[in-house]
Structure 1
């Protein structure tokens, strides 16, 4: 009889029992698997396997220690590094705390060369991740930074004291700015309400003008008496809500009394004319737009002149312009035709929707022998002696006439956030020949703009160079082949789909909006040269990035558009799906839907759907610096919030026949945050309000902090990522953190171009941008390798 208690156990379990180590029941299954790989296993091998099992629990325990100690600067990677450093399976909490402190200190030492820079980076990261430090926690972090950088006790005390004073000063400045902004906002709201309460109805005009009711109605209808506000429905306070009530500013109407005699004389001789001093500028409106009399919206509206927006672009209006609308589906050669015309011109502009596409336009001109300068929101590349410029649409120069201009992706006229930039570019580009490129859906609004500008219009319709068809059935993940592009509508979905494909042994490139143009191009190059056989992307591939895609497969037929989750429309399916079957690479393109994600028949119907006329044909308009200054002078206010609120309320009637006001929600939110910053002029604050920030990423809060530093005369430091883990060890959390820092650097560089004195460290910002681009691309490459290796090992 065998008395050995381990005789009938699994060999790995027997080895564990023989080692005599304390093992928790929950640990045993994992431990058996690890020991089984080491058989024959002695006590040392079992001990090593138990350490590996416990590292996962140690990492979690280390994060718990940091949370209990109130150390939000400790990252998961620090906890994992601490766990990796332990080799004793019986390590206690004290040993774990010591290992965590050392891991954190190592990261802090590597974050920046000086303790001051390290503290600034870490405090900034925490603020932007929604974990702002209290004064006490800031001091604790400063103490940890001082220790990590090897400062002695006296030096550390001085460092904590000095940095605490700086931080407290910043907090006080920010609190003061917030308080001043609130007070200004209250003042402006009160001012606006008082103005509205003081408005009178048409029934008060005869007494104000000392004229008959019939005369007053004629003069109002002719646009001689400015309407301050129009109220419809319940707003008017009338029962039934069907009639519209017109309201007038009594002070302005009374000032027109001196014009009454001239109006009567003009009517008597059948030659009505506008008032000499009222500022209505009806003669200018008729001269420029040729549309006769229009009812003005009071003094503020006249100062802004948004209802005569075309006249705002004096250089363009002085030219005899011809607009050529070049439409066609994706892969129809619109850009090629336009670039050939531009290259043949003595001077010209190429305006693109994205920085990436502006670079591509510049490179396309170079292949045609034309050197062009570049201007985007955050960068400038000069080309001495050149008379050609590639730029993003928002950077359109309105003052220097050229022979030819290209404006791409004109269907973005309908975009809620950027449509006003296309309105300004098409109306204001100072070119004799304007080539407007886009989907057929853009034609009605471009024609409307041309009519408002008095420009001639020509249409060119191009056909796709290679056929595009819908797949007959759905496509499964296992059915994907080289040359396929799988489309999702969020970063998370892109990364999850990539994970699934890599587990299947596929080589995958990714493209999504959070990636910089440089990284997107690098990923596209991997797909183009065959290093990756499948592309997983968001709708960021819908513009630019000429790729040899054979099939476009939608992983879903729904997307979140910033306001709601909705079904894709036909234009989106055509725009994205049209990337399939690139001419010269494939004979044709296929558009499909992933199995389980929707009906393939929907794709077919949308690809063959006729262009739908847009519901709204009035182009969007928004104020610029000149308009902001004019309105501020008119209402006698230095408040940006007040100016924008007045513009939103009184400048453009909701039923204006020609224009509609762009969404001013974000500029108003920024104005609310920075209006109280001392040291910034009204137009400085307007520039801040135009900065491209992401409100969902605390962009407005960060912008307000920059404004406080700027207003106080202190240099605004660029956002820095600090120490970056080796690419092969970086998690998705680290990758997202780097992407966010990159996005913040874009905003910082945008500000630096406009305020170079306040934002002086541009070279450092550009170097940090390049470092992040390289690191992010390397992380994506390493993650593919690691996961593919893990798949093979499994």
Structure 2
């Protein structure tokens, strides 16, 4: 036993200072307080200053105060107040025994400063905060709207009676009323379209009723069906591989007047003479819709391309095999040409590659146009392929995207429809059978060139520890969160880090790639967004995971994924050998070795994806006599392509269908305009469809839709992950807005302002990512070596 009254100097100091100051310490806090007192003690001291004790108590109680203030703001309905500003407010409190009033008093100036930093005017602040909340799925109630408007008015020092409050309340009430009306009307119209389709399907009759309705023989009915004179309304698969044919009785009756002509034609026909399709009338049989849409004869839809004597050269090879070099040289030497890329960033790179060869080219992407009047060359994203102006040479990159369920149809259309006399198709080896199939459907001859890597690629025999990553390494994860966790962990090891992931804009990705290539960053951490569109000087690729979630399930990486991503290692001319490894604890190096050595995986289904375009949508609408995009897409989905069509399969149009469904309640937009909205690139994980419908409603009402702002951008060195994510979502809003502005400039004005806002957001995001101190995070989860 000790002879002293206290077991330690720290406990003695704690007893002295707590008695002197009178601050009560909860038993749950005592151990942590004493530990901090021990740190604050000078050598041989038995006491600490009162002010130091106050600071210790405030620090120990900070977490509890943050939780309390979060609770107070949420209970009062102030859901726009962020945890970041609550933490900032609590950090300013110097009273050890602060009550709720003190907490609220500390929050007030922080919250007001944040509101003022959102935008230049109260109205823009109000709109920007609501947009941020909508990104997270939160919509303010009328009471919460009043609270927010009052907070904004106080922050801006508006005088009593300022019209902002009444005007904003009135506009918001009208907006919510309109949104409710749109939703209700959309539901009613969808039900009407579904009832209309169901009633028609119930009216169909089996084949046995056809001779009676047409007043013909059984044999004649079969012959006329084979000659495509009698439309089969619906084909229903049954057990045993059988198929039941159904017919529209009203349509059959309308064709009775044609029977004499058909019989006379049959009598006069000679063997081998071509069969002529009959006039199918104006009814709305599914077979009629299929013929109007012509997706089962999709290659014929591209008349300009079919009129040309096209030659296809298919250039395949792994990453770092130089696929684009020969094609770009041919394109630059041609009098006219077209370069189609999967990403806006790559379209810019194609344009720059042509410029380096002395050829000026225009640019066309979903968000921007750069017109060079004297140029006969165009660099574009695949979705922007022009189908009507013939050129000498066209280049289409990344043809393995043909297998992508979301975007594959754009590659099908580009390869089938590019109006080029010589078409170069570039891609990984697994695209070969699909491109051959498409060429066969088009009747185009194909030359094939197979390239090998310019530098060898090998798999590492041992896992790599996080601490052992070195200059020139690229670490691959499969989510934004994992990328940022790994970034924080590596910076703790003193590494300079660049990052690339899907939510970043092409400009930021490019800037991060440049930091890595120039040596300003030692290590690159990326998602599989690295696999396309960036020139990177990587020495070694290290997988931080060997499984990924693909939107439906968590699965092993495929052979092609490992080869496409791992192939980024060993940049020719920079590194003699490329190495592919796995992070310690993430899996076995043998998996990497097997995938790299495996043959290209054969795809089980070589039918290219197809989807309608604006012309097909209008043709089907005219056939069924409807201006409902939802109704048109429903019929296309039900009628255009049978699931067992031998040549094509319908692309995943779920998002377009969801947008069309939501737009049903917006009055005043024609079919073509609705189709444009349905094609707009939005992310519904951020409630993008709901925002899009609001913009469409303003458009239909003749109101202009102003570009989104940057929102609040704190100093980049103090930005948290939450603030970074908010900025990324704001950028996605701007992408959608700029996409629409190109198509509807009268209703989406001030494109220059939107472009400047985009630049500011990109610069801020890049500045945040350049910070080499650990980014603040609320997750608390760190990756260990």
- Taking structure 2 as the reference length, the TM-score comes to 0.94
| 2:506 aligned with 1:506 | no
User: Which residue matches 1:728?
Assistant: 717
> Does the CA-based 8 Å contact 2:134-2:686 persist in structure 1?
no
Moved more, 36-45 or 601-610: 36-45
CA-based RMSD of the aligned residues comes to 2.3
**The 10-residue stretch of structure 1 (208-217 or 748-757) with the greater mean CA deviation from structure 2:** 208-217
Give 1:528-567 correspondences, 5 Å limit: 528-567=517-556
Of stretches 64-73 and 199-208 in structure 1, the one that deviates more from structure 2 is 199-208
- Residues 1:50 and 2:57 aligned together: yes
Equivalent position to 1:648, from 637, 655, 658: 637
Deviation, structure 1 residue 148: 0.8
- 2:326 paired residue number: 337
Assess, with a 3 A threshold, how the Cα gap between structure 1 residues 513 and 597 changes in structure 2: closer, same or farther.
same
Worse overlay, 509-518 or 86-95: 86-95
Describe the shift of the 1:304–1:542 C-alpha distance in structure 2 as closer, same or farther (beyond 3 A): same
The match for 1:244 is 243
Q: Is the 8 A contact 1:127 1:133 kept in 2?
A: no
Identify unmatched segments of 5+ residues in structure 1. 234-239, 281-295
**Alignment-derived partner of residue 73 in structure 1:** 80
Select which of 189, 206, 210 maps to 2:211.
206
Q: Is the 8 A contact 1:6 1:14 kept in 2?
A: no
- After superposition, give the CA deviation of every residue in 1:99-140 in whole Å (9 maximum; x if it has no partner): 212211111122111111111111222233222111121111
Instruction: Please give the alpha-carbon distance, in whole angstroms, between the structure 1 residues aligned to 2:264 and 2:13.
Output: 111
Q: Hey, what does 1:183 align to over in structure 2?
A: 188
Q: Which of 383, 396, 410 is the equivalent residue of 2:372?
A: 383
Return closer, same or farther for 1:433/1:33 CA change in 2, 3 Å cut-off: farther
Q: CA contact under 8 A between 1:256 and 1:275: conserved in structure 2?
A: no
Query: What's the counterpart of residue 385 of structure 2?
Result: 396
Aligned to 2:743: 754
CA distance in 2: counterparts of 1:382 and 1:740, whole angstroms? 29
Q: For residues 108 and 86 of structure 1, what CA distance do their matches in structure 2 show?
A: 21
Give SS of 1:514's match.
coil
Q: Distance in 2 between matches of 1:15 and 1:727?
A: 43
Which of 591, 595, 600 pairs up with 2:580? 591
Aligned to 2:298: 309
> In the alignment, which of 99, 103, 112 is matched to residue 105 of structure 1?
112
Indicate conservation of the 8 Å contact 1:13/1:32, yes or no: yes
Q: Does 1:357 align with 2:356?
A: no
Range with bigger deviation, 499-508 or 635-644:
499-508
Q: CA deviation at 1:264?
A: 3.4
Match of 1:193 in 2: 198
Measure the CA separation in 1 of the matches of 2:556 and 2:281.
Answer: 48
**1:633 corresponding residue in structure 2:** 622
Question: Which secondary structure state, in structure 1, belongs to the residue aligned with residue 61 of structure 2?
Answer: helix
- Candidates 637, 645, 667, aligned match of 2:656: 667
Matched, 1:172 2:171: no
Match of 1:605 among 591, 594, 612: 594
CA distance in 1, matches of 2:36, 2:670: 67
CA contact (8 A) 2:544 2:583 kept: yes
Deviates more, 1:597-606 or 1:420-429: 597-606
Secondary structure of the corresponding residue to residue 161 of structure 2 = helix
Name the counterpart of 1:237. Answer: none
Equivalent residue for 2:221, pick from 208, 216, 223: 216
What residue ranges of structure 2 are gaps of 5+ in the alignment? 43-47
Say if 1:123 and 1:138, in contact at 8 Å, map to a contact too: no
CA 1:15/1:337 → structure 2, altered by over 3 Å: closer, same or farther? farther
1:257 maps to which residue? 256
Distance 2:275 2:137 in 1: 60
Could you say which residue in structure 1 is the equivalent of 2:130? Answer: 123
Q: Indicate conservation of the 8 Å contact 2:683/2:689, yes or no.
A: yes
**How has the CA–CA distance of structure 1 residues 507 and 211 changed in structure 2, closer, same or farther, with 3 Å as cutoff?**
same
1:750-771 superposed Cα distances (whole Å, 9 cap, x missing partner): 1111111111132222122111
Instruction: State the shift of 1:327 in Å.
Output: 0.4
Cα distance in 2 for partners of 1:314, 1:518 equals 37
What are the Cα deviations for residues 164-211 of structure 1, in whole angstroms up to 9, with x where unaligned?
A: 110111111111111211111011101111111122222122223332
Distance 1:36 1:747 in 2: 56
CA distance in 1, matches of 2:688, 2:634: 21
Q: CA deviation at 1:225?
A: 2.1
Secondary structure of the structure 1 residue equivalent to 2:509: helix
CA positional deviation for 1:90: 2.9
Cα distance between partner residues in 2 of 1:723 and 1:473: 46
Query: Following the alignment from structure 2 to structure 1, what is the Cα–Cα distance between the partners of residues 35 and 185?
Result: 65
Aligned residue for 1:784, secondary structure, equals: coil
Q: TM-score, normalised by structure 1?
A: 0.93
User: Which one is further off, 103-112 or 12-21?
Assistant: 12-21
Report the secondary structure of 1:611's partner residue.
Answer: coil
Could you tell me whether the CA contact under 8 Å between 2:299 and 2:442 is conserved in 1?
Answer: yes
User: Over residues 622-649 of structure 1, what are the superposed CA-to-partner deviations in whole Å (9 max), with x where a residue is unaligned?
Assistant: 1111111111111111111100000110
Q: How many residues align?
A: 767
Match in the other structure for 1:146: 153
Deviation at 1:541, TM superposition (A): 0.5
Hey, what's the Cα distance between the residues in 1 that align with 2:571 and 2:776? 31
2:731 corresponds to which residue? 742
Relative to structure 1, the CA distance from residue 362 to residue 30 in structure 2 (aligned partners, 3 Å threshold; closer, same or farther) is farther
Structure 1 residues 450 and 181: CA distance shift in structure 2, 3 A: same
Q: Is the 8 A contact 1:721 1:741 kept in 2?
A: yes
Aligned to 2:193, the other structure's residue is in SS state helix
CA pair 225-500 structure 1, distance change in 2 beyond 3 A: same
Three-state SS of the structure 2 residue aligned to 1:658 is coil
Q: Residues 544-563 of structure 1: CA distance to partner in whole angstroms, max 9, x if unpaired?
A: 21111111111111111112
- Distance (Å, rounded) in 1 between the aligned partners of 2:29 and 2:696: 54
